[in-house]
Amino acid sequence: MAKRKIIWSIRAQQDRLQILEYWIERNKSKTYSEKLYNLFNSAIELIAIHPEIGKKTSEQGKRAKIVRDYMIFYQEGENQLDILAIWDTRQNPEKIEKIIRKKSR
């Protein structure tokens, strides 16, 4: 199966940045943030090749891949993979529905 082009939504970019900045501030070091960044990228590269590996969500065509305490929400296109959001699973689960219902951009 061919690898799809990865398209990050503004929301997903902001989520990733906030998560990484949080861990830099909390740990006073970039080490854990760099590890998370690499884990996110590895998961997304895998999803781009095998988009069916993520768990189906309640929204048609949208899936989620778990990476540590986070869920990467995405939507598969014919030649692209839209990264919709990165969700910290320790947050209020009622907010998830709003996130996955939104359009990819």
Q: Which CATH number fits domain 5-101: 3.30.2310.20, 1.10.540.10, 3.40.50.300, 3.40.640.10?
A: 3.30.2310.20
CA atoms within 13 A on the CB side of 33: 15
Average pLDDT estimate for 1-24: 93
* pLDDT for position 66: 97
* Amino acid occupying residue 37: Y
Contact 83, 8 (CB under 8 A): yes
**pLDDT tens, residue by residue, 66-98:** 999 999 999 998 899 999 999 999 988 888 777
pLDDT confidence band for 105 (50 / 70 / 90): very low
Identify the CA nearest to 3 among candidates 61, 39, 50, 42.
50
Predicted TM-score of the model (pTM): 0.88
Each domain of the chain, given as residue ranges in start order, spans 5-101
Instruction: Spell out the residues 6+ positions from residue 19 whose beta carbon is closer than 8 angstroms to its own.
Output: 36, 70, 86, 88
pLDDT above 80: residue 51: yes
**Average pLDDT score, the chain:** 91
